[in-house]
Structure 1
Amino acid sequence: MSPLMLSRLQSISVRGWHWVSVSDRLARIAVIAVYAFLVITGATTSSIGIGELRQDPSRPEGHQVGSSSAIRSDEFNAFSPIAISIMATGAAPTTSYLAAPADVVHRYPSGGFFETFVYFDSTLLRTATILPDAMVFAAHWWLPAVVLFLFLPKWFEQIGSSRNMGWLSAFLIALSPAASWWTMMPIQLIAYTVAGSSLLLSAYCGFTSKRSVLPLVQSVVGGILLAGIPSFYIPWSLVLGLPVLAASALWILTREDRLLPKTKALGFTGGVALIFGLGTLLENATGINALLNTVYPGSRRSTGEAQPFGFLFGAPSLGELKDAVPIGSNQSEMSTAFTVTFVWAVVIWLGISAMGRWRDNVVTLVLAFSGGLWLLWCTFNFGPMGAQIPLLNYVQPARAAQVCGIIGALLVGVLLSRVPDSHRWRLSIASALTTGLVTAYAGSQLQLSYLPTMSRKDVLLAGAGVAVVVFIVTSFPKSVFSVGIAAVLMAIPVYGSNPLIFGLGDLRASATAKYFYSEGTVSRSTGSLWASDRSSVDTLLLANGVPSLTGVQRSGPDMSKWTILDPEQRFANDWNRGGGFIQFFWTPGASPTFSNNGTDRTIVHIDPCDLKKSFPSLTHITASQELSGACLNLEKELTWSGQETLVYKVS
């Protein structure tokens, strides 16, 4: 090659990398700008605008684009109302008085020193006393996604990979059907771990450069973020959080550098994580013990089992979920991340002729091992032996199948950063054909089983779409346009699956909500309790900070309080349950009865006057029909869910 030609190529390369750098900065600015816009407008993709959470469903408050989904009941009956309740109380949410604390399960502090920092995202909800509720709720809602997009490209760069591929992996995670149909839960479970791991790596670089103050601050903040790994939905926390942390720590340990910077970074960050993590768990020992001792889900142990091929690899074909309910399942249970990224990663790995030393591939090896382990857990029948394996036995294979593709997204991003220019076209074609065929086959399996309404055209388009994305990205991994095109195509299966609601809807703006908001302030100051006979009213009470016997029981029961209702604990199997709700039905003159719906709902039929005798602090109940009883006095008539709701004072 002539010197002139070489000079021109070098000039083009420099300009190309400059463009990538500029585009990366613009992308970060765009992320922050979009976040600011969403916060200012109070826009979220929550389903709290569903008809049952409206005063009058035919005349809803506020503005919403798209329809809310009933399948997201955990979100609009628990996750979101808990956040809104914290804004109402300025402290802990008013979950059921009969329930043990659920701070760990829902990442919120209720007064503990350590948890106030570890669950910083929920601590920020208390700023609702300063800012409008809608803005604070939106800020909390989108924060994990913003953290993911700002820190994942940086993490990629820190481990020696391409920031561009970090953006690709972020889109693969954020736009997956699992993230969409589980209301961004997988994003929250990995975003703060990525941020904490990135700060750990930054601290290591700082200590290597012999700086002291900034790396120490980074270690403290990173450690606090990492301390939150064992929280929220713990099975997914195990699947998603540990691989990123392990990869980051091992990357530091395998550097050919002085031992002191490694010791400082890992020692300070790990020490803070250990102190704040253990401190948070000790502060919440009561709630954790309640969860572990429940009939469901605490006593449940799982073993590895083979999952259907279509379920495991069919994410790109799940656009049909917007219009159809799967046979024998539902949209949330069927949604997965892009597990096909593992297939893509294998082809890329086989196509890279020289991987280099093992220490240069430590992140790749950790991600491959973790991803392979969870893939094995959901593709192989372990039998009774699997239920004895610690940690793994807490993760149902179907749950592992839903999110292990997120590890695949990280793995393929790291590998694509190392694709050589030579033979790139062959690798692009091989990757595109392989992933396209796997996707098409998985889609056809879904059509034969869960989604018979899906057409052959949809199956072929999904396979073709994956092939196009894989071909373009593998051919041009350094191009920002290839990532942009991939993001657009990835969004197709989930486009329209979530509504866009501005504000908090009727949970704050309706007359009924304003009444309960006022009553909640009085009840909290006097220590009085309410109870209701309708789940939608329970959600309204929770969202407005009204202390109640009914409502959310997420970690497990408070045994001392439940034994007041069931002294001999004869019906403990019905009420000793977590991850669910407590619902009362009023039966004046009848003895109490207990039951459950098999999973997440404890049902109690009881005379409200007997309930008053058991809990003297009960002052009000709501009823969906007229009641008579010596202790009941009708106080107010309201409307909720388009139905009459009667408020009785219990004396």
Structure 2
Amino acid sequence: MEKIVNSLFLKNQKYLSILLGDLGILFITLFVKKYLQNSELILLFGSILFIINTLRIWFEQQLKKLLNFMIRYRYLITLILFILLVFCRINGSSIGVFDTIYGKENGNVISEIFGKGRIIRSDEYRVQIPYFFSQIYNNFGLDSHMMSLSGQNMIIGYNSPVLDLTLIGKPDLWGYILFGNEVGLSWYWNFRIIAFLLVGYEMFMILTRNKYLSAFASVCLVFSPALQWWFAPHMYQVFFWASTLFVVGYYFFISHSIWKKVLFTVLSISALVGFVVSIFPSLQVSLGLLMLVLMICCLIRDRKELNWKNIDYLRVAIVVVIAGGILGKFLIESKTAIQLLNSTVYPGKRISTGGDYPFANLFTDPAMMLTPFQAPKAMNECEISCFNHFGVLFILYYPYLYYVVKKKRGSTIVGNALFIILLIEIFFMIIGFPAWLAKITLFSYMNRMVLVYGFTAFLFTFWSIQMVWEYRKYLRKSIALMIGVVYICLYIATYRNYGLNFYSGRISSLIYFLIPLILGTFSILLFTRWRKLFFPVFGSWIILTGMFVNPIVIGAESVKNHALVSEALKINYKFPGEKWLCLNTSFTQNLLLANGITVLNAVNFYPDYGKWDLIDPEHIQEDYYNRYLHMLIELTPDPTSFSLNSPDAATIYLNPQDLKKWQVHFLTANINSNTKELLDQYGIRYDILYIDQASNEEIIKLDY
């Protein structure tokens, strides 16, 4: 009788799981088609997923065998996929924004095949792409004078492709060095996603020893809103290299075979270099400490598997010497740039003491299902992005889980570490540390704690899911139900008014009530025999919140397929190396830089004193330009002055006489500006070489 009941239960759960999956796929397909621009392909993707999921009714075992095959041969499969995607020049860049500003010289070229470039991703298409693309014209040198007079260190500058020893820690950039910009862009995007999926799987295998859960968790991690919205800047790569250090470090000590010892010795060098040259202390310090603690805990847990021999001391020495040598050389060569960056007003040496985070940051933001489709009223999609997790639920549940696991003589060392770290992070976020304690504990660097907390809570969530299932026979369902109800109530109460700041009226009221209720309810199923019903619901949430953030793009035509760029390149060919200045815009200078033109007001990561000393020799205006700086320049008949627009942007009101000090010979300017009148007023001769109808700009040649 019991076997019959269990069989019926498993069969019903299977059908319900398939039904929930199909409903999720159907909802996502229709929702995306309705609210995401240029999303016709979702009908094809959705149909394929719907068919595959439905086939589970008849071919569950065959599909499971296929999944096992994919997991077993994951490295070969992903290598083939990577080659195919790079061959097709697929990337996820938002460079399509340039098409909306400058039009298309060849209107038949279609680059965005799914979704649209996002204006909010200016850190990617307006800074990173120009820096990366300009390096091919700089012979991938460490210092570049293409955006400054005194030069910019290009590793400090978004870790751009530089042909030096640090490349061992930047495999995502090898495509730029080997094949140029278009292939390099595709290589960069696909390597980052595929490599993190593989690293994520290994990381969760170490933590949970469950291959299916690890595969699911890896996808949830890589396509979390936090990582997808912050894909281009340093944040994504710090999370990647911190996770890689954990995996590589663990296997460095655990591996037994010779070839694995050699492999992880080499990978340790690469991971250390990659992590250090990411240069984002607000995440590096916190994530480095987190993953170091977790690695030590996992090694203690698995100490019986350790196989340490005297030869392994040599391996440690090799890693220290080679990685230390590479990093030492980099630090010596970049010492001046690092000092200048640390001395800036912004970002500079910011000291964080915490205590200023809202309680809502402890939960997954329900608005994440809206951000890929509708911009919030306040802040922006990047700033409110987060990891999808159930940290608070498992923090509440952990004391009971700990009691049961310890009673059954199980290992809780990893859970203990994550639980304690989460409590410390929460205390820092909500209450804060005094300045002296923040400095001693290095928490003073951690001004991105909401991301670090979300990542820690994400790891804790999946470790707890595995432990709950492993010890399910000994856990009382009533306690899980009680804690689950408390969690749902806290979740709803926390977001009851929070969302009014971001989304209007009815949307906020509905989303901020329904999502906590749905996610909270299905998370309770994790503590029951119906746990499998949680995964199609949470999987649908992951797809909806993270997989539609970035577009699918072919090639990099949007960087050069503009009449303004073509004309500028013709002029630059006739007058190579001449300095340009782009007036009345914060876009054109970076677009021209991406095409190999020297533009003095492209973004600077630290102050270009070679430029500023010429017009402000007494450094009276230094507070305005001693920062990471977007420069909007306008000509004025008054003495040169500055105005701060935001912590990372300033307007420079430049007197025309200062153009000669910078040896500028070409300008781009809005045709409706007073540029020509001011040039006439100061007796500067000029010729109008080209007028661009799409952007309403003209190219002006100066003749002093």
Aligned to 1:225: 271
Structure 1 position 406, deviation (Å): 1.2
The 1:216/1:466 distance shift into structure 2, 3 A limit, reads same
Q: Does 1:294 align with 2:340?
A: no
1:639 counterpart (666, 687, 692): 692
Out of 465-474 and 410-419, give the one that drifted further: 465-474
Any gaps of 5 or more consecutive residues in structure 2? Answer: 3-60
Which whole-Å CA distance do the structure 1 matches of 2:670 and 2:699 have between them?
A: 6
Aligned to 2:353: 303
Aligned to 1:558: 608
2:95 counterpart (48, 64, 69): 48
The 1:476/1:590 distance shift into structure 2, 3 A limit, reads farther
Aligned to 1:371: 422
Q: Does 1:172 align with 2:220?
A: yes
The 1:387/1:140 distance shift into structure 2, 3 A limit, reads same
Which whole-Å CA distance do the structure 2 matches of 1:325 and 1:268 have between them?
A: 50
Give the SS at the match of 1:228: helix
Aligned to 1:585: 634
The 1:310/1:160 distance shift into structure 2, 3 A limit, reads closer
Which whole-Å CA distance do the structure 2 matches of 1:354 and 1:15 have between them?
A: 35
Which whole-Å CA distance do the structure 1 matches of 2:337 and 2:290 have between them?
A: 27
2:578 counterpart (504, 513, 528): 528
2:431 counterpart (362, 374, 380): 380
Aligned to 1:8: none
Which whole-Å CA distance do the structure 2 matches of 1:239 and 1:462 have between them?
A: 30
Q: Percent same amino acid at aligned positions?
A: 18
The answer (yes or no) to whether the contact 2:632–2:650 under 8 Å persists in 1 is yes
Q: Does 1:350 align with 2:400?
A: yes
Q: Deviations over 1:427-460 (max 9, x none)?
A: 7656754554444333323234433432433233
Which whole-Å CA distance do the structure 2 matches of 1:246 and 1:381 have between them?
A: 22
Aligned to 1:411: 460
1:513 counterpart (541, 562, 565): 565
Q: Deviations over 1:60-110 (max 9, x none)?
A: 952323343332222221123222333555515644445642513512254
The answer (yes or no) to whether the contact 1:168–1:413 under 8 Å persists in 2 is no
- The 5 Å alignment of 1:532-551 reads 532-533=582-583, 534-551=585-602
Aligned to 2:516: 463
1:76 counterpart (115, 122, 125): 125
Letter in 2 for 1:85: S
Out of 327-336 and 513-522, give the one that drifted further: 513-522
Out of 500-509 and 19-28, give the one that drifted further: 19-28
Aligned to 1:236: 283
Out of 282-291 and 640-649, give the one that drifted further: 640-649
Aligned to 1:444: 496
The answer (yes or no) to whether the contact 1:347–1:431 under 8 Å persists in 2 is yes
The 1:160/1:387 distance shift into structure 2, 3 A limit, reads closer
The 1:204/1:307 distance shift into structure 2, 3 A limit, reads same
Structure 1 position 570, deviation (Å): 0.6
The 1:569/1:511 distance shift into structure 2, 3 A limit, reads same
The 1:321/1:608 distance shift into structure 2, 3 A limit, reads same
Which whole-Å CA distance do the structure 2 matches of 1:550 and 1:182 have between them?
A: 25
Q: Deviations over 1:359-412 (max 9, x none)?
A: 95444444344433333221113354466446321222xx21134211211222
Give the SS at the match of 2:581: strand
Q: Does 1:116 align with 2:176?
A: no
Out of 469-478 and 332-341, give the one that drifted further: 469-478
The 1:16/1:79 distance shift into structure 2, 3 A limit, reads closer
Q: TM-score, normalised by structure 2?
A: 0.78
Structure 1 position 125, deviation (Å): 1.4
The 1:635/1:291 distance shift into structure 2, 3 A limit, reads same
Letter in 1 for 2:630: F
Q: Deviations over 1:525-563 (max 9, x none)?
A: x54322211211112122112222111112x11334421
Which whole-Å CA distance do the structure 1 matches of 2:525 and 2:318 have between them?
A: 42
Structure 1 position 122, deviation (Å): 2.7
Which whole-Å CA distance do the structure 2 matches of 1:532 and 1:175 have between them?
A: 37
Which whole-Å CA distance do the structure 2 matches of 1:359 and 1:425 have between them?
A: 17
The answer (yes or no) to whether the contact 2:525–2:534 under 8 Å persists in 1 is yes
Aligned to 1:260: 309
Aligned to 1:136: 184
The answer (yes or no) to whether the contact 1:100–1:553 under 8 Å persists in 2 is yes
Aligned to 2:442: 391
Q: Does 1:486 align with 2:486?
A: no
Q: Does 1:341 align with 2:391?
A: yes
Structure 1 position 463, deviation (Å): 1.7
Out of 226-235 and 350-359, give the one that drifted further: 350-359
Q: Deviations over 1:192-211 (max 9, x none)?
A: 332343233333333x44x2
The answer (yes or no) to whether the contact 2:148–2:611 under 8 Å persists in 1 is no
Which whole-Å CA distance do the structure 2 matches of 1:349 and 1:17 have between them?
A: 35
The answer (yes or no) to whether the contact 1:319–1:492 under 8 Å persists in 2 is yes
RMSD after superposition? 3.7
The 1:485/1:458 distance shift into structure 2, 3 A limit, reads closer
Out of 31-40 and 602-611, give the one that drifted further: 31-40
Out of 470-479 and 543-552, give the one that drifted further: 470-479
Q: Deviations over 1:176-231 (max 9, x none)?
A: 2222332465432212332343233333333x44x2x5523421222222223232
Letter in 1 for 2:509: R
2:241 counterpart (167, 179, 192): 192
- The 5 Å alignment of 1:601-620 reads 601-612=649-660, 614-616=661-663, 618-620=664-666
Aligned to 1:6: none
Q: Deviations over 1:39-77 (max 9, x none)?
A: 344333322212576422796952323343332222221
The 1:458/1:35 distance shift into structure 2, 3 A limit, reads farther
Structure 1 position 585, deviation (Å): 1.6
Give the SS at the match of 1:304: coil
Aligned to 2:135: 86
The 1:137/1:258 distance shift into structure 2, 3 A limit, reads closer
The 1:61/1:436 distance shift into structure 2, 3 A limit, reads farther
The answer (yes or no) to whether the contact 1:292–1:299 under 8 Å persists in 2 is yes
Letter in 2 for 1:450: F
The answer (yes or no) to whether the contact 1:53–1:640 under 8 Å persists in 2 is no
The 1:577/1:410 distance shift into structure 2, 3 A limit, reads same
The 1:26/1:148 distance shift into structure 2, 3 A limit, reads same
The 1:136/1:418 distance shift into structure 2, 3 A limit, reads same
Structure 1 position 32, deviation (Å): 5.0
Which whole-Å CA distance do the structure 2 matches of 1:66 and 1:434 have between them?
A: 39
Letter in 1 for 2:291: V
The 1:260/1:45 distance shift into structure 2, 3 A limit, reads same
Out of 251-260 and 14-23, give the one that drifted further: 14-23
The answer (yes or no) to whether the contact 2:221–2:387 under 8 Å persists in 1 is yes
Which whole-Å CA distance do the structure 2 matches of 1:203 and 1:562 have between them?
A: 49
Which whole-Å CA distance do the structure 1 matches of 2:287 and 2:217 have between them?
A: 14
The answer (yes or no) to whether the contact 1:532–1:621 under 8 Å persists in 2 is yes
Give the SS at the match of 1:634: strand
Q: Does 1:155 align with 2:203?
A: yes
1:275 counterpart (309, 312, 325): 325
Aligned to 1:10: none
Letter in 1 for 2:175: L
